[in-house]
Amino acid sequence: MKKTILVIGGTGAQGVPVVEALATDSKYDIRVLTRNASSNDAQQLGSLPGVSMFEGNTYDENTLRQAFKNTDCVFVNTNGFAIGEKSEIYWGIRLYELSREHKIEHFVYAGLEYGTKLGNFNSKYRCGHLDGKGKVVQFISAQPTSPMAWSVLTSCMYMEALSEFLRPFPDPENPGTMVFTAPLGGGKCPLIYLEDYGAYARWMFDRPAQSNGLELHVATEDISWKNLAHAFTEVTGQKAVYKDVTLDEYFKLGILDPTVKVGHSTDSTDSTLLTYRENFTGFWNTWKDNLTQRDYQLLDTILPTRVKSVKEWMRRTGYNGKPRSLLKDYRDRAAKA
Ligand SMILES: NC(=O)c1ccc[n+]([C@@H]2O[C@H](COP(=O)([O-])OP(=O)(O)OC[C@H]3O[C@@H](n4cnc5c(N)ncnc54)[C@H](OP(=O)(O)O)[C@@H]3O)[C@@H](O)[C@H]2O)c1
């Protein structure tokens, strides 16, 4: 019998390629939980064969109980930028528990690196949106692999963010040169091509015997920003440089508002919420100090067709450094403003 997979976070930048990968044939029925089934993103996704929308708030137990009915497998990407670290830990664990209660066969959790733990609990690595998911991964990894299989798909920054959050800007003194600015020093940062991310998720559901009990760390390539600028020039023919900046300089660029709290859908007076300055200080320090690791040999075995470098991705997608919308959250908030 056909299995039904419930996808949480399915309308987002990360969820869409997962849903698309699951819908490439008629093997699964895919149910996507969304707050608004008539949004453009939801409608586009809902037009794929085998994909249906389930309207409701993810962070509400009654909604989840309804959504879990007649579900065989679950993919979970909670939104830490909406709910903050504390709620992300709560809901990650609660979603695991509800899955067990509803006799789900396979629970796949979209994880992120537990930077603080990797950095020996030095506060310079404290990043709520990484640590929150990282702590949930610790909880899941401590659970048995039967009667419910679990897998963790730990990712990193999206390669597509090179057109949004990570995009280069023309050098004001020399507009023919594009500048990739980051507080990364000589660190190598992993980036993941989202289409491949979706394919790894599909592999997990297709191959539970191999993916059960596995935390898979995925990326396309770990790349220094100096090499990123070189790759850009090689592919586009346009001059580019890397500008290494301090965190203070970075927060003055206007890419993020450093004073705002991470967790836009929560009570902003919650004292556990980090500001963007606090959160992204830990974030960039984690990558700058190369705290994380991936097993590219294993990734080659699982997905031999994977895109293997940033350069290959730039060629394949016609990347030109121009701005392009990626995160649904950004689009939704821009539409409201
Ligand atoms: N940016 C990156 O490079 C990156 C990399 C790895 C992991 N992540 C993680 O991915 C998560 C965000 O997912 P995404 O990248 O797919 O973001 P996105 O494109 O902005 O999508 C946001 C998703 O969250 C859902 N959502 C549920 N309740 C929400 C609420 N109250 N407010 C806003 N959105 C809500 C949205 O569903 P509806 O609007 O349909 O309800 C949508 O599916 C974060 O936890 C982030 O840490 C991000």
Q: Over the stretch 150-200, which tens digit does the pLDDT of each residue have?
A: 999 999 999 999 999 999 999 999 999 999 999 999 999 999 999 999 999
CA dist 162 → 67, 180, 191, 203 (Å):
34, 9, 9, 26
Residue 182 lies in a domain: no
pLDDT at 309: 98
Percent of the chain with pLDDT over 70: 100
Residue 77 lies in a domain: yes
CA dist 52 → 16, 62, 219, 258, 297 (Å):
13, 19, 29, 38, 36
Give the closest residue (by CA) to ligand 1 atom 3: 157
Q: Is 265 in the pocket of ligand 1 (CB under 6 A)?
A: yes
Residue 89 lies in a domain: yes
pLDDT at 157: 98
Average pLDDT over residues 257-268: 96
Which CATH number fits the domain that encloses residue 108? 3.40.50.720
Q: Is 87 in the pocket of ligand 1 (CB under 6 A)?
A: no
Q: How far is the CA of 11 from the centre of ligand 1 (A)?
A: 8
Residue 140 lies in a domain: yes
What's the whole-model pTM score?
0.98
Sign of torsion, CA 210 211 212 215?
positive
Percent of the chain with pLDDT over 90: 98
- Provide the terminal-to-terminal Cα distance of the chain, rounded to the nearest Å: 46
Give the closest residue (by CA) to ligand 1 atom 17: 12
Q: Is 35 in the pocket of ligand 1 (CB under 6 A)?
A: yes
Q: How far is the CA of 158 from the centre of ligand 1 (A)?
A: 12
Q: Which residues, other chains included, contact 315 with Cβ-Cβ below 8 Å and sequence gap of 6+?
A: 235
Residue 274 lies in a domain: no
Q: At what angle do helices 225-236 and 310-317 cross, to 10 degrees?
A: 40
Residue 74 lies in a domain: yes
Q: How far is the CA of 105 from the centre of ligand 1 (A)?
A: 25
pLDDT at 137: 99
Q: Is 157 in the pocket of ligand 1 (CB under 6 A)?
A: yes
Q: Is 163 in the pocket of ligand 1 (CB under 6 A)?
A: no
pLDDT at 262: 97
**In this model, does residue 112 exceed pLDDT 90?**
yes
Q: Is 13 in the pocket of ligand 1 (CB under 6 A)?
A: yes
Q: Is 198 in the pocket of ligand 1 (CB under 6 A)?
A: no
Q: Is 219 in the pocket of ligand 1 (CB under 6 A)?
A: no
Q: Which residues, other chains included, contact 152 with Cβ-Cβ below 8 Å and sequence gap of 6+?
A: 108, 109, 111, 137, 140, 141, 214, 215, 216
Residue 24 lies in a domain: yes
Q: How far is the CA of 310 from the centre of ligand 1 (A)?
A: 23
Residue 81 lies in a domain: yes
Q: What is the SS3 assignment for 18?
A: helix
**In this model, does residue 337 exceed pLDDT 90?**
no
Q: Is 79 in the pocket of ligand 1 (CB under 6 A)?
A: yes
Taking all residues of the chain, what is their mean pLDDT, rounded to a whole number? 98
pLDDT at 1: 87
Q: How many domains does the chain have?
A: 1
Domain span at 120: 3-155+193-219+292-307
The CA angle 330-331-332, to the nearest 5 degrees, is 95
Q: How confident is the model at residue 291 (pLDDT cuts 50, 70, 90)?
A: very high
Q: How far is the CA of 14 from the centre of ligand 1 (A)?
A: 7
